[in-house]
Amino acid sequence: MKVIEKPSPNQSERLLGSVTNVIVLHTTEGNAKSALSWLTNPESKVSAHYLVARDGTIYKLVPTTRKAWHAGKSRLGVCNQVNNISIGIEIESYEGARDYPDKQLEALAWLIWQIMKNNPTPISTITAHKDISIAGKQDPVDFPYLRFWKMFAKVVCREEGIK
C-alpha cells in the first residue's frame, strides 16, 4: 500500500506511562485535500495519525509514538484523555461520497493490520469517534462495518499467506 508522509505540527508527547491500545475511526467531512490542509494547519489544533483517502492512498500525519489531537473531549472506560491511549485514523468521507470504495476499505484494513502487528502493545479496541465523544461528535457517518470486517479478514489472510 502507498503511504505518504504529510507531517502535522498538531501533536505532542503522550503522557508518561500511557499504553497505546486503541484505534479511533473518524470521517473527514470533506475531501482528502481539504482534510490534509486542515489537519496540517497549526491554527486548527487538530490532527490524526493517518488519513485514508477514497482512492486508497494512506497519509501518515503523526508518528504513532506521539499524541495526535483527534479525539477531543472524550471518554473510553475510565480514561478521560483518549488521545493519550489511541491512534486516530481519518477516513475520507463527506455528504455525497459516503459509499466507501473497496480500495479505501482495503487500505484501511491493511493499515489497521499493520498497526496491530507493529504496535508495542496489543490493540484491544477499535472504536468510532461517536462512541467516545463527550461533545456529541457523530463520525464516522454511515460507515459499512460489515463490509469493512469482511475486507479486513481478506487482507489479513492475504498478508499472512492464509488460504
pLDDT digits (tens, 9 = 90+) for 85-112: 999 999 999 888 889 999 999 999 999 9
Quick one: which of 42, 53, 151 has its CA closest to 93?
Answer: 53
What does the pLDDT average to over 116-142?
Answer: 94
Domain that holds residue 14: 3-160
Q: Say which CATH number the domain at 139 has.
A: 3.40.80.10
Interatomic CA distance for residues 3 and 107, integer angstroms: 10
Active site residue 90: yes
What does the pLDDT average to over 56-77?
Answer: 97
Say which of 13, 43, 90, 160 is annotated catalytic. 90
Question: C-alpha grid cell for residue 139?
Answer: 463520525
- Return the pLDDT at 96: 80
Predicted structure pTM score: 0.97
Helix residue spans in the chain (DSSP H)? 32-39, 102-118, 129-132, 145-160
Q: What's the residue count for the chain?
A: 163
pLDDT band per the 50, 70, 90 thresholds, residue 158:
very high
Interatomic CA distance for residues 11 and 87, integer angstroms: 12
Question: C-alpha grid cell for residue 14?
Answer: 503522550
Structural domains counted in the chain: 1
